[in-house]
Amino acid sequence: MFRTRFWVSLVLTLPVLALSDFSQHLFGWSLLSLPAASWISALLGSVIFWWGGWPFLAGAGRELQTRQPGMMTLVALAISAAYSYSLALTFQLLEGMPFYWELATLVTVMLLGHWLEMRAVGSAESALNELAKLLPDLAERIGADGRPELVPVAALREGDLVLVRPGARVPADGIVEEGESQVDESMITGESRPVEKQPGSEVIAGTVNGSGSLRMRVRRIGEQTMLAGIQRLVREAQLSRSRAQDLAARAARWLTLLALTAALLTLLGWLRVRGLDDYTVERVVSVLVIACPHALGLAVPLVVAVTTTLAARQGILLRDRRALEEAWRVDTVVFDKTGTLTEGRQSLVGVVTVGTLSEDEALALAAAVEQDSEHPLARAVLAAAQERALTLPPAQEFQALPGRGTRAVVGGRTYHLGGPRLLEQLGGVLPPTLAAAAQQWGERGQTVIFLLEAETPLAALALADRIRPESRAAVALLRREGIQVMLLTGDSEEVARWVARELGITRFFASVLPEQKAAVVKQLQQEGRTVAMVGDGVNDAPALAQADVGIAIGAGTEVARAAAGIVLVRNDPRDVVRVLRLSRASFRKMVENLAWAAGYNLVALPLAAGVLAGVGLVLPAWVGALLMSLSTVIVALNAQALRALRLDLPLSSLPAPA
C-alpha cells in the first residue's frame, strides 16, 4: 500500500514543486507565473492530500478514538493545516503563499518512511516464508514389498520408512537406518558445513541430503517436527513486544503532546507578533512537521525486525524479545553440565594396557565381549571400536553378570569385562600401571572398567561423559569478554571438579538437584549478578525461569515447550557468545536510533517554532520535511547495518583457558 502511494505521490510532487516558490529559491526558476499555476497545484495537492495522505488521516482517526494520539495524529494535523491554509489562499479567502509543495513533500517523505518500515518488518516475515518452503511436497515411502512409492508428505506417519535420494530434502524428522551421506542443515541450525549422517543419526525435516542415499525411519511429522517448532518461535518473537518498544511508544505519545503544546504556543506567539498570515501558519506547520515522532517510532521496531531475522538464520530462536534485550547486561553465565558442556552420553576417554597388548587390541577384545550387551557402558565401548574402525573377533557364550560386568569366550579364551566388584570377585591383582591409571581416572569421577583374561588384568578403560570440543572455545571466549563462567550440575563433586578444571571454570556447584538449581541462580542474583542460565530446557526449567536470561541449548523437538526466552537450535555452547554479541549490538543500535530521533527533535523544534528568528535562524517547512525524511532514512540505515554483524566464532584456535 505504502509503496504505490509513495511512487504516485512522488510523481505528483515534482510538478507541484516546479509550480512553487521552492523551485525559485532552490534552482532560480519556477512555473509559478503560469496563469493556472495555483489551480494546478490545488488539484495535484488535493490528490496527494486525500489519496496519498489517507493512511495518516485514517490512522489519526483510530488514535483519537482510542484517546492515544501518536505520530499519525501529528502527521494528519500537519498536512491538514497545510492543505486547509493553501485552499483558503487559492480561493482568495486569505493572502499569502500556498503550502501545496510543503504538503506534497511531507506526505511523500512520510510514505517513504512507512514503506521502509514495512520492508524491514517484512524481512522478518520472509524468514517464516523461507522456513515454510523447506518441506518437500512429496516423499518416497517404502512399502511392504520394499519398493518406494511417491506419497504426499502429509500422508507420512510415525514409523514409516522413507527413502531420501541424493539432493532431496528430508520430509520429516527421523533416524537413519541405512546409508551414509552428508546433510546440509544450514537453513535449520545455521551450521555452515554439511553434517555427516550414518545409521543411528538424527535427520531434520527440511534439510538437504548430499551425495549419498539414506533410508530413514520417521519419528515426528507435521506440527511435531523441529521445523514447525522453529516456525512457531519465529512467529511468537515477531508478535512479542520488548521493553524498548514500550519505551519508544510512550516517548512517541509524550512527544505528540509536546508537539501539540509547542504548536499551540507557536500559534499564539506569532499571532501576537504578526497576526494570522502565511508566516505564522508556516511556523505552526513547521513545528508539527519537525515534531512528528516518525523516526522515533521506527527506532526500535526496525532494529527488532532485523535482529529477529539475523538470529533465526544463526540458529538462535527468540521466544521472548525481552530476553535478548536483557542479555547485553549479563555478567555471569551458568552452564548445566550434562548435554550442555558435555555430550550427554558415556564415551571412551582412555585405555591403558600391560604387556605387549596394544590399545586397539584391548579395545577390540573388550568390544567383542560386549557385542551382545545392552548396557550403556557396553554401547560406549562398541562405539569407540567403531570410531577406530576395528575388526571385532567373534565371541561365544556371552553372559551378563548383573552389577559386575560381562563374560564371553573369544578365540577359545575366557575374558571378563567389568568394574572393581568383578575384579575383587575374581581375585585379580592390578599391576602398578593399571592401578595408577585407575586411581587417576577415579579422582576425575570417571568410570573405570577392567579387561581380564580369566583372573589376570590385561587393560583398564576409562569412560566418561565427554566434554564437547566447542565448550572450551565457548568458555575461553566468554572469559575473554569479561563474563564470569560457572558450572551447575547434579553430578558428583569429583566429576564437576574435573570438568571445571578442564574448561578453566573456577566456580562450580555440584550434587545440585533440579529443584535446587533455581535457588543457586537466585543466590547469584542476590550477589548483584545478572545471570544467564544455559541448560537443556527441560530438567533445568526452574533455573531457566529464575535467571535474568534463560537459554535452552539444543532445541530438539521440545523447542516450543522450553522454559527459556532464547532457544539455541544447535548443541553448541559457543552460540551463547553469539547471543551476547547480538544482544549488545542490537541494544547499541536501539540507543543510537533513539538518541538520534529524540535529539533531532529537541534541536529542530525551537528552530521550527522561530524562537531564534530574531537572529535569522528559522527552519522553513520544506527544510523540516526534508530533515524529517533524512532522520527516518538514517534510523533505517542504522538498523540495517546490523546485517553486517559477524557472528563467526573459532572452535579450536583459542588458547586453553588458564
**Which pLDDT tens digit goes with each residue over 453-509?**
988 999 999 998 888 888 999 999 999 999 999 999 887 788 889 899 999 999 999
Query: The pTM is what?
Result: 0.68
Residue 58: which pLDDT band, with cuts at 50, 70 and 90? Answer: very high
Backbone angles phi, psi at 162, to 5 degrees: -125, 140
Per the annotation, the verdict on 336 as an active-site residue is yes
* Active-site entry in 173, 320, 336, 536: 336
d(CA 126, CA 122): 6
Residue 105: which pLDDT band, with cuts at 50, 70 and 90? Answer: confident
Do 206 and 131 meet the contact criterion of CB atoms below 8 Å apart? yes
**Mean pLDDT over each residue of the chain, to the nearest integer:** 82
pLDDT higher for 235 or 219? 219
pLDDT (average), residues 427-434: 91
Pairing of strands 549-553, 531-535: parallel
Whether the predicted pLDDT of 564 surpasses 80: no
Do 336 and 535 meet the contact criterion of CB atoms below 8 Å apart? yes
Closest CA to 181 of 216, 154, 149: 216
Give the lowest-confidence range in 224-233, 258-267, 327-336, 455-464.
Answer: 224-233
- Residue 394: exposure state from Cβ atoms within 10 A (0-12, 13-18, ≥19): exposed
What pLDDT, on a 0 to 100 scale, did the predictor assign at position 252?
Answer: 63
d(CA 422, CA 399): 13
Portion of the chain with pLDDT greater than 90, in percent: 31
What pLDDT, on a 0 to 100 scale, did the predictor assign at position 75?
Answer: 78
pLDDT higher for 109 or 419? 419
Backbone angles phi, psi at 274, to 5 degrees: -120, -20
pLDDT (average), residues 174-196: 77
**Which pLDDT tens digit goes with each residue over 123-179?**
545 545 555 666 788 899 999 888 999 999 989 999 999 999 998 999 999 999 999
All structural domains of the chain, each given as residue ranges with its CATH number in brackets, are: 2-128+237-305+588-642 (no CATH), 138-168+173-220 (2.70.150.10), 343-467 (3.40.1110.10)
pLDDT higher for 138 or 375? 138
What pLDDT, on a 0 to 100 scale, did the predictor assign at position 305?
Answer: 74
